[in-house]
Protein backbone atom coordinates (compact mmCIF):
# COMPACT_ATOMS: atom_id res chain seq x y z
CA UNK A 1 0.00 0.00 0.00
CA UNK A 2 1.25 3.44 -0.90
CA UNK A 3 1.75 5.69 2.08
CA UNK A 4 0.69 9.20 1.43
CA UNK A 5 3.03 12.03 2.32
CA UNK A 6 0.03 14.31 2.42
CA UNK A 7 -3.52 13.37 3.19
CA UNK A 8 -6.25 15.49 1.69
CA UNK A 9 -9.96 15.05 1.24
CA UNK A 10 -11.77 16.33 -1.78
CA UNK A 11 -15.37 16.49 -2.91
CA UNK A 12 -16.23 16.07 -6.60
CA UNK A 13 -19.71 17.38 -7.37
CA UNK A 14 -20.57 15.18 -10.38
CA UNK A 15 -19.64 12.17 -12.46
CA UNK A 16 -16.76 13.42 -14.62
CA UNK A 17 -14.71 11.70 -17.34
CA UNK A 18 -12.76 8.73 -15.97
CA UNK A 19 -9.45 10.34 -16.95
CA UNK A 20 -10.00 13.16 -14.47
CA UNK A 21 -10.94 10.87 -11.63
CA UNK A 22 -7.95 8.64 -12.43
CA UNK A 23 -5.63 11.64 -12.20
CA UNK A 24 -6.95 12.29 -8.70
CA UNK A 25 -6.73 8.69 -7.51
CA UNK A 26 -3.29 8.06 -9.04
CA UNK A 27 -1.87 11.08 -7.25
CA UNK A 28 -2.11 9.22 -3.94
CA UNK A 29 -2.74 10.94 -0.67
CA UNK A 30 -6.06 12.29 -1.83
CA UNK A 31 -9.33 10.78 -0.68
CA UNK A 32 -12.16 11.43 -3.11
CA UNK A 33 -15.82 11.67 -2.21
CA UNK A 34 -17.97 12.08 -5.30
CA UNK A 35 -21.57 12.78 -6.24
CA UNK A 36 -21.43 9.99 -8.81
CA UNK A 37 -24.34 10.96 -11.02
CA UNK A 38 -24.95 12.75 -14.32
CA UNK A 39 -27.52 14.87 -12.54
CA UNK A 40 -26.55 17.85 -10.36
CA UNK A 41 -25.80 17.32 -6.71
CA UNK A 42 -28.76 18.40 -4.56
CA UNK A 43 -27.90 21.45 -2.50
CA UNK A 44 -28.12 19.58 0.82
CA UNK A 45 -25.74 16.88 -0.47
CA UNK A 46 -23.33 19.54 -1.68
CA UNK A 47 -23.31 21.25 1.71
CA UNK A 48 -22.80 17.93 3.49
CA UNK A 49 -20.26 16.65 0.97
CA UNK A 50 -17.99 19.66 1.12
CA UNK A 51 -17.89 19.78 4.94
CA UNK A 52 -14.38 19.36 6.24
CA UNK A 53 -12.83 18.96 2.77
CA UNK A 54 -9.62 20.61 1.63
CA UNK A 55 -10.50 20.49 -2.05
CA UNK A 56 -13.63 20.96 -4.15
CA UNK A 57 -13.91 20.00 -7.81
CA UNK A 58 -17.08 21.57 -9.21
CA UNK A 59 -18.89 22.42 -12.42
CA UNK A 60 -20.39 25.61 -13.84
CA UNK A 61 -23.83 24.47 -12.72
CA UNK A 62 -22.80 24.43 -9.03
CA UNK A 63 -23.35 27.74 -7.26
CA UNK A 64 -20.39 28.07 -4.92
CA UNK A 65 -21.44 30.86 -2.59
CA UNK A 66 -20.94 31.88 1.04
CA UNK A 67 -23.23 29.10 2.25
CA UNK A 68 -21.10 26.44 0.57
CA UNK A 69 -17.87 28.01 1.79
CA UNK A 70 -19.22 28.18 5.35
CA UNK A 71 -20.32 24.55 5.10
CA UNK A 72 -16.85 23.55 3.91
CA UNK A 73 -15.19 25.21 6.87
CA UNK A 74 -11.82 26.85 7.23
CA UNK A 75 -9.87 23.85 5.91
CA UNK A 76 -10.95 24.42 2.29
CA UNK A 77 -7.81 25.35 0.35
CA UNK A 78 -8.71 24.89 -3.30
CA UNK A 79 -11.71 25.12 -5.61
CA UNK A 80 -11.19 23.71 -9.06
CA UNK A 81 -13.94 24.29 -11.60
CA UNK A 82 -14.16 22.17 -14.73
CA UNK A 83 -15.05 25.21 -16.83
CA UNK A 84 -13.54 28.32 -18.30
CA UNK A 85 -16.38 30.43 -16.88
CA UNK A 86 -16.30 31.31 -13.20
CA UNK A 87 -19.42 33.42 -12.73
CA UNK A 88 -20.84 30.62 -10.52
CA UNK A 89 -18.11 31.23 -7.93
CA UNK A 90 -18.45 33.90 -5.24
CA UNK A 91 -14.95 35.17 -5.91
CA UNK A 92 -15.07 37.93 -3.31
CA UNK A 93 -15.85 35.45 -0.51
CA UNK A 94 -13.35 32.95 -1.88
CA UNK A 95 -10.58 35.53 -1.96
CA UNK A 96 -11.39 36.71 1.57
CA UNK A 97 -10.83 33.14 2.78
CA UNK A 98 -7.53 32.76 0.91
CA UNK A 99 -8.85 29.87 -1.17
CA UNK A 100 -7.12 29.25 -4.50
CA UNK A 101 -9.15 28.71 -7.68
CA UNK A 102 -8.34 26.61 -10.73
CA UNK A 103 -10.26 26.71 -14.03
CA UNK A 104 -9.93 25.27 -17.53
CA UNK A 105 -9.24 27.94 -20.16
CA UNK A 106 -7.55 27.20 -23.53
CA UNK A 107 -8.34 23.48 -23.67
CA UNK A 108 -11.95 24.16 -24.69
CA UNK A 109 -11.35 27.09 -27.02
CA UNK A 110 -11.36 25.09 -30.26
CA UNK A 111 -14.43 23.02 -29.38
CA UNK A 112 -16.40 26.08 -28.28
CA UNK A 113 -15.41 28.13 -31.33
CA UNK A 114 -16.36 25.22 -33.59
CA UNK A 115 -19.76 24.95 -31.91
CA UNK A 116 -20.25 28.72 -32.26
CA UNK A 117 -19.67 28.46 -36.01
CA UNK A 118 -21.95 25.41 -36.25
CA UNK A 119 -24.70 27.26 -34.38
CA UNK A 120 -24.25 30.36 -36.51
CA UNK A 121 -24.57 28.37 -39.75
CA UNK A 122 -27.48 26.32 -38.40
CA UNK A 123 -29.26 29.54 -37.47
CA UNK A 124 -28.58 31.70 -40.52
CA UNK A 125 -29.26 28.86 -43.00
CA UNK A 126 -32.27 27.63 -40.99
CA UNK A 127 -31.08 24.03 -40.62
CA UNK A 128 -33.34 22.84 -37.75
CA UNK A 129 -36.39 24.32 -39.52
CA UNK A 130 -35.38 22.69 -42.81
CA UNK A 131 -34.84 19.28 -41.21
CA UNK A 132 -38.27 19.56 -39.66
CA UNK A 133 -39.86 20.38 -43.04
CA UNK A 134 -38.34 17.23 -44.56
CA UNK A 135 -39.88 15.17 -41.76
CA UNK A 136 -43.32 16.81 -41.69
CA UNK A 137 -44.02 16.81 -45.43
CA UNK A 138 -43.48 20.55 -45.87
CA UNK A 139 -40.91 19.72 -48.59
CA UNK A 140 -43.28 19.49 -51.56
CA UNK A 141 -40.90 20.60 -54.32
CA UNK A 142 -37.86 22.80 -54.92
CA UNK A 143 -39.14 26.32 -54.32
CA UNK A 144 -37.17 29.43 -55.28
CA UNK A 145 -38.42 31.47 -52.34
CA UNK A 146 -38.45 28.79 -49.67
CA UNK A 147 -36.11 28.34 -46.68
CA UNK A 148 -33.87 31.21 -47.69
CA UNK A 149 -31.53 32.55 -45.09
CA UNK A 150 -28.42 34.70 -44.82
CA UNK A 151 -24.84 33.83 -45.81
CA UNK A 152 -21.48 34.93 -44.45
CA UNK A 153 -19.98 35.92 -47.78
CA UNK A 154 -19.32 39.67 -47.91
CA UNK A 155 -20.82 40.13 -44.46
CA UNK A 156 -19.85 42.18 -41.42
CA UNK A 157 -19.33 40.06 -38.30
CA UNK A 158 -19.32 41.64 -34.87
CA UNK A 159 -17.66 39.80 -31.99
CA UNK A 160 -18.68 40.86 -28.51
CA UNK A 161 -15.63 39.89 -26.45
CA UNK A 162 -12.50 39.22 -28.53
CA UNK A 163 -10.97 36.87 -25.98
CA UNK A 164 -9.60 33.38 -26.62
CA UNK A 165 -12.91 32.02 -27.92
CA UNK A 166 -13.87 35.17 -29.82
CA UNK A 167 -10.55 35.09 -31.67
CA UNK A 168 -10.96 31.41 -32.48
CA UNK A 169 -14.43 32.13 -33.87
CA UNK A 170 -13.11 34.97 -36.05
CA UNK A 171 -10.26 32.74 -37.29
CA UNK A 172 -12.79 30.11 -38.38
CA UNK A 173 -15.24 32.56 -39.94
CA UNK A 174 -12.69 34.50 -41.99
CA UNK A 175 -12.40 31.85 -44.76
CA UNK A 176 -16.18 32.08 -45.32
CA UNK A 177 -15.56 35.42 -47.05
CA UNK A 178 -16.38 37.80 -44.22
CA UNK A 179 -15.82 41.37 -45.47
CA UNK A 180 -15.11 42.99 -42.12
CA UNK A 181 -14.81 42.12 -38.46
CA UNK A 182 -15.85 44.51 -35.72
CA UNK A 183 -15.33 43.84 -32.04
CA UNK A 184 -16.44 45.41 -28.79
CA UNK A 185 -15.26 44.85 -25.26
CA UNK A 186 -13.73 46.52 -22.25
CA UNK A 187 -10.64 47.70 -24.15
CA UNK A 188 -9.09 47.56 -27.63
CA UNK A 189 -6.66 44.72 -28.40
CA UNK A 190 -4.76 46.02 -31.44
CA UNK A 191 -2.15 43.23 -31.62
CA UNK A 192 -4.75 40.49 -31.49
CA UNK A 193 -7.23 42.29 -33.74
CA UNK A 194 -4.58 42.76 -36.44
CA UNK A 195 -4.90 39.08 -37.46
CA UNK A 196 -8.48 39.77 -38.60
CA UNK A 197 -8.12 43.50 -39.39
CA UNK A 198 -10.88 43.77 -36.79
CA UNK A 199 -11.99 47.25 -35.77
CA UNK A 200 -12.69 48.11 -32.12
CA UNK A 201 -16.04 49.89 -31.90
CA UNK A 202 -18.53 50.90 -29.20
CA UNK A 203 -21.16 48.26 -28.59
CA UNK A 204 -23.81 50.51 -30.16
CA UNK A 205 -21.90 50.56 -33.45
CA UNK A 206 -21.32 46.82 -33.26
CA UNK A 207 -25.09 46.37 -33.01
CA UNK A 208 -25.86 48.82 -35.82
CA UNK A 209 -23.36 47.63 -38.42
CA UNK A 210 -23.04 43.87 -37.98
CA UNK A 211 -24.84 41.28 -40.11
CA UNK A 212 -23.89 38.63 -37.56
CA UNK A 213 -23.14 39.18 -33.90
CA UNK A 214 -21.37 36.49 -31.90
CA UNK A 215 -21.27 36.92 -28.13
CA UNK A 216 -18.22 35.30 -26.56
CA UNK A 217 -17.55 37.61 -23.61
CA UNK A 218 -17.39 36.53 -19.97
CA UNK A 219 -20.37 37.20 -17.72
CA UNK A 220 -19.43 39.99 -15.33
CA UNK A 221 -21.42 42.76 -13.62
CA UNK A 222 -20.50 44.93 -16.66
CA UNK A 223 -21.79 42.45 -19.27
CA UNK A 224 -24.90 41.24 -17.41
CA UNK A 225 -27.95 42.03 -19.57
CA UNK A 226 -25.84 44.06 -22.01
CA UNK A 227 -27.75 42.62 -24.99
CA UNK A 228 -31.01 44.36 -24.19
CA UNK A 229 -33.84 46.21 -25.91
CA UNK A 230 -31.63 49.11 -26.93
CA UNK A 231 -29.04 46.70 -28.36
CA UNK A 232 -31.56 44.65 -30.36
CA UNK A 233 -33.37 47.79 -31.60
CA UNK A 234 -30.09 49.00 -33.09
CA UNK A 235 -29.45 45.72 -34.92
CA UNK A 236 -30.30 45.37 -38.62
CA UNK A 237 -33.57 43.64 -39.49
CA UNK A 238 -31.72 40.93 -41.42
CA UNK A 239 -29.05 40.34 -38.79
CA UNK A 240 -28.40 37.16 -36.82
CA UNK A 241 -27.51 37.02 -33.12
CA UNK A 242 -25.46 34.17 -31.62
CA UNK A 243 -24.61 33.65 -27.95
CA UNK A 244 -22.22 30.95 -26.74
CA UNK A 245 -21.00 32.70 -23.57
CA UNK A 246 -23.53 32.92 -20.74
CA UNK A 247 -27.29 33.35 -20.88
CA UNK A 248 -27.35 36.27 -18.47
CA UNK A 249 -25.47 38.50 -20.93
CA UNK A 250 -28.81 38.65 -22.76
CA UNK A 251 -32.11 40.09 -21.61
CA UNK A 252 -34.18 37.20 -22.91
CA UNK A 253 -37.50 39.04 -22.87
CA UNK A 254 -35.99 41.77 -25.05
CA UNK A 255 -34.55 39.12 -27.36
CA UNK A 256 -37.93 37.42 -27.61
CA UNK A 257 -39.60 40.70 -28.56
CA UNK A 258 -36.88 41.47 -31.13
CA UNK A 259 -37.41 38.05 -32.75
CA UNK A 260 -41.20 38.27 -32.72
CA UNK A 261 -41.33 41.86 -33.98
CA UNK A 262 -38.83 41.22 -36.79
CA UNK A 263 -36.27 43.62 -35.32
CA UNK A 264 -33.66 40.92 -36.03
CA UNK A 265 -33.81 37.89 -38.33
CA UNK A 266 -32.81 35.05 -36.05
CA UNK A 267 -30.93 34.00 -32.93
CA UNK A 268 -28.86 30.97 -31.97
CA UNK A 269 -28.26 30.36 -28.28
CA UNK A 270 -26.08 27.72 -26.66
CA UNK A 271 -26.67 29.34 -23.27
CA UNK A 272 -29.83 30.59 -21.59
CA UNK A 273 -31.25 31.69 -18.27
CA UNK A 274 -32.14 29.49 -16.61
CA UNK A 275 -30.43 26.31 -17.70
CA UNK A 276 -32.11 24.09 -18.58
CA UNK A 277 -34.64 26.38 -20.26
CA UNK A 278 -38.17 25.25 -19.30
CA UNK A 279 -39.71 23.39 -22.23
CA UNK A 280 -42.65 25.83 -22.28
CA UNK A 281 -40.39 28.90 -22.53
CA UNK A 282 -41.65 31.40 -25.19
CA UNK A 283 -38.29 31.39 -27.00
CA UNK A 284 -38.78 27.70 -27.78
CA UNK A 285 -41.95 28.49 -29.72
CA UNK A 286 -40.06 30.57 -32.30
CA UNK A 287 -38.89 29.12 -35.59
CA UNK A 288 -36.20 31.79 -35.88
CA UNK A 289 -34.55 30.86 -32.58
CA UNK A 290 -32.22 27.85 -32.41
CA UNK A 291 -31.46 26.75 -28.86
CA UNK A 292 -28.82 24.22 -27.83
CA UNK A 293 -28.30 22.77 -24.33
CA UNK A 294 -24.94 24.42 -23.48
CA UNK A 295 -22.74 22.03 -25.46
CA UNK A 296 -19.95 24.41 -26.50
CA UNK A 297 -17.13 22.28 -25.09
CA UNK A 298 -18.86 18.93 -25.58
CA UNK A 299 -16.41 16.84 -27.55
CA UNK A 300 -15.12 13.65 -25.95
CA UNK A 301 -11.52 14.81 -26.18
CA UNK A 302 -12.20 18.27 -24.79
CA UNK A 303 -14.23 17.03 -21.83
CA UNK A 304 -11.51 14.46 -21.00
CA UNK A 305 -8.84 17.13 -21.17
CA UNK A 306 -10.92 19.52 -19.07
CA UNK A 307 -11.38 16.88 -16.38
CA UNK A 308 -7.66 16.11 -16.23
CA UNK A 309 -6.78 19.80 -16.07
CA UNK A 310 -9.35 20.34 -13.32
CA UNK A 311 -7.86 17.40 -11.39
CA UNK A 312 -4.31 18.66 -11.85
CA UNK A 313 -5.30 22.17 -10.77
CA UNK A 314 -6.84 20.71 -7.64
CA UNK A 315 -3.84 18.53 -6.83
CA UNK A 316 -1.35 21.34 -7.38
CA UNK A 317 -3.39 23.66 -5.19
CA UNK A 318 -3.60 21.08 -2.42
CA UNK A 319 0.17 20.61 -2.50
CA UNK A 320 0.74 24.36 -2.48
CA UNK A 321 2.36 24.17 -5.92
CA UNK A 322 1.75 26.37 -8.98
CA UNK A 323 -1.44 25.28 -10.76
CA UNK A 324 -1.45 24.58 -14.51
CA UNK A 325 -4.35 27.10 -14.79
CA UNK A 326 -4.93 29.24 -11.74
CA UNK A 327 -7.44 32.05 -11.68
CA UNK A 328 -5.60 34.92 -10.07
CA UNK A 329 -7.92 36.63 -7.61
O1 LIG B 1 -19.44 27.29 -20.62
C2 LIG B 1 -18.52 26.56 -20.47
C3 LIG B 1 -17.43 26.78 -19.59
O4 LIG B 1 -17.43 27.80 -18.87
O5 LIG B 1 -16.52 25.95 -19.55
Residue having the nearest C-alpha atom to atom 1 of ligand 1? 85
The rounded Å distance from CA 300 to ligand 1 centre is 15
Longest Cα–Cα distance in the chain: 73
DSSP 252-275: HHHHHHHHHTTSSSEEEES--SSS
pLDDT the model gives residue 258: 98
What's the mean pLDDT in 227-231?
98
pLDDT the model gives residue 184: 98
Residue having the nearest C-alpha atom to atom 2 of ligand 1? 83
pLDDT tens track for 275-328: 999 999 999 999 999 999 999 999 999 999 999 999 999 999 999 999 999 999
pLDDT the model gives residue 7: 80
With contact defined as beta carbons under 8 Å apart, do 289 and 140 qualify? no
The rounded Å distance from CA 61 to ligand 1 centre is 10
With contact defined as beta carbons under 8 Å apart, do 51 and 71 qualify? yes
Report the DSSP pairing between strands 212-215 and 30-34: unpaired
Of all residues in the chain, the percent with pLDDT exceeding 70 is 98
ipTM score of complex = 0.98
pLDDT tens track for 146-185: 999 999 999 999 999 999 999 999 999 999 999 999 999 9
Reported as a pLDDT band with limits 50, 70 and 90, residue 6 is low
DSSP 273-307: SSSSPPTT-GGGG-TTEEE--S-TT-SHHHHHHHH
Task: Return the half-sphere exposure (C-beta side, CA atoms, 13 A cut-off) of residue 238.
Answer: 9
Of all atoms in ligand 1, which is nearest to the CA of residue 82?
Answer: 5
Of all atoms in ligand 1, which is nearest to the CA of residue 83?
Answer: 5
What's the mean pLDDT in 239-248?
98
Name the helix (H) or strand (E) containing 240.
strand 240-243
3-state secondary structure of 17: coil
Of all atoms in ligand 1, which is nearest to the CA of residue 294?
Answer: 1
pLDDT tens track for 87-142: 999 999 999 999 999 999 999 999 999 999 999 999 999 999 999 999 999 999 99
Pocket residues: Cβ below 6 A from ligand 1: 60, 83-85, 108, 296-297
Amino acid sequence: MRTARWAMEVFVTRRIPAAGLRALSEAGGCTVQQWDSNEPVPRAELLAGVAGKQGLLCLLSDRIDKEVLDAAGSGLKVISTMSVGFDHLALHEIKKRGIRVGYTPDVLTDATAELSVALLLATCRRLPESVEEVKNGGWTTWKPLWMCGYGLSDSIVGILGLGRIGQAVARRLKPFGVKKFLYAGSHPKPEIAAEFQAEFVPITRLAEESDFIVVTCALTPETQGICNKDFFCRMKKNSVFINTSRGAVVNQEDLYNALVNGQIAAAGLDVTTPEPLPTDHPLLSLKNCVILPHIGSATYTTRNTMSVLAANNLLAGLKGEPMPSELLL
